[in-house]
Amino acid sequence: MEIKDIEYTCPYCGKTFETRLYEAVNASEDVDLAELSRSGDIFKHLCPHCHTDFMIQNHFVYHDPSRKFMIVLSNEDVPYAMREYAKPMVEKGYRLRHCKTVRDFTEKVQIFEDGIDDVLVELAKYDSFIEFIDNRKGNAEEVTSIEYQSTKDDVMKINVRTDDKGLSFLIPVAGLEEVVSSQQDRFQLDEASFPCVDSAWIISLYLEDQQEEMLH
């Protein structure tokens, strides 16, 4: 566990107060803080003046030695100092990831705790989005989020949400694994670089295909 006490100006009332930021949590040692991390509540703060609560997204490292994964939450690139010891961790079987938002971070923790490959999840989310649009269930502009919910009996549940409704898709994991296995070069990751495996990443892969088709 790593902490830092700071002075922070409330974005609502403009008054300053002291608060504590957690910068690193070990899931095996800091059980209570790990639970707050999984829910995202560790980033919530309460202004003692106007009693408004809000989120502060600070640089944060979540380490789960038992499941062998580490996630860095940051708006910026993962520091070079962290990349220096990444390779030995990968050699021990670790999955290393970079998340840019709290929502992506909490989802990523759940995915890894469920024992699922996040590449499969992003592929499932992309396929669900395409099906949502192609089957005229809605327009792309209406989609507010696409979320991983759970995996049970080798079936993944993905929720596509809009402002006024939501739609769930059930996707067999075996089919996703077959796609990734047949296109290993496309989905290959450099674990030691703390890859950011998210919607932007999966979309970029298919945009590359479209650009290549246009060139040919």
Residue 21 pLDDT > 90: yes
Domain count within the chain: 2
Residue type, 118: D
- Degrees, nearest 5: CA angle 37-43-48: 135
β-pairing verdict for 53-55 and 44-46: antiparallel
Co-location of 7 and 87 in the same domain: yes
Residue type, 29: E
Co-location of 84 and 132 in the same domain: no
- Degrees, nearest 5: CA angle 151-25-93: 55
Residue 129 pLDDT > 50: yes
Which residue, of 85, 113, 141, is where some domain finishes? 113
For 189-211, write each residue's pLDDT tens digit: 999 999 999 999 999 998 865 55
Confidence of residue 136 (pLDDT cuts 50, 70, 90): low
Confidence of residue 130 (pLDDT cuts 50, 70, 90): very high
Q: Report the mean per-residue pLDDT for the chain.
A: 92
Q: What is the pLDDT of residue 81?
A: 82
Q: Rounded mean pLDDT of 129-145?
A: 85
Nearest residue to 28 (alpha-carbon basis) of 80, 75, 72, 64: 64
Which residue, of 113, 136, 163, is where some domain finishes? 113
Which residue, of 113, 139, 170, is where some domain finishes? 113
Domain containing 98: what range?
2-113
Co-location of 159 and 92 in the same domain: no
Residue 1 pLDDT > 90: no
Q: Do 134 and 213 meet the contact criterion of CB atoms below 8 Å apart? A: no
Q: Do 90 and 96 meet the contact criterion of CB atoms below 8 Å apart? A: yes
Residue 213 pLDDT > 60: no
For 30-49, write each residue's pLDDT tens digit: 999 999 999 999 999 999 99
Residue 15 pLDDT > 90: yes
Angstrom distance (rounded) from CA 39 to CA 180: 30
Co-location of 56 and 145 in the same domain: no
Co-location of 127 and 108 in the same domain: no
Angstrom distance (rounded) from CA 2 to CA 24: 5
Question: Dihedral through CA 180, CA 183, CA 185, CA 191, nearest 10?
Answer: 0
Angstrom distance (rounded) from CA 143 to CA 176: 23
Q: Rounded mean pLDDT of 49-64?
A: 97
Which position has the token pair 């609560």? 53
Angstrom distance (rounded) from CA 207 to CA 17: 46
H-helix segments, 52-198: 80-84, 86-91, 102-113, 118-134, 173-182, 184-187
Q: Rounded mean pLDDT of 124-139?
A: 87
User: What is this structure's pTM?
Assistant: 0.91
Confidence of residue 139 (pLDDT cuts 50, 70, 90): confident
For 161-197, write each residue's pLDDT tens digit: 988 888 999 999 999 999 999 999 999 999 999 999 9
**Which comes out higher in pLDDT, residue 123 or 216?**
123
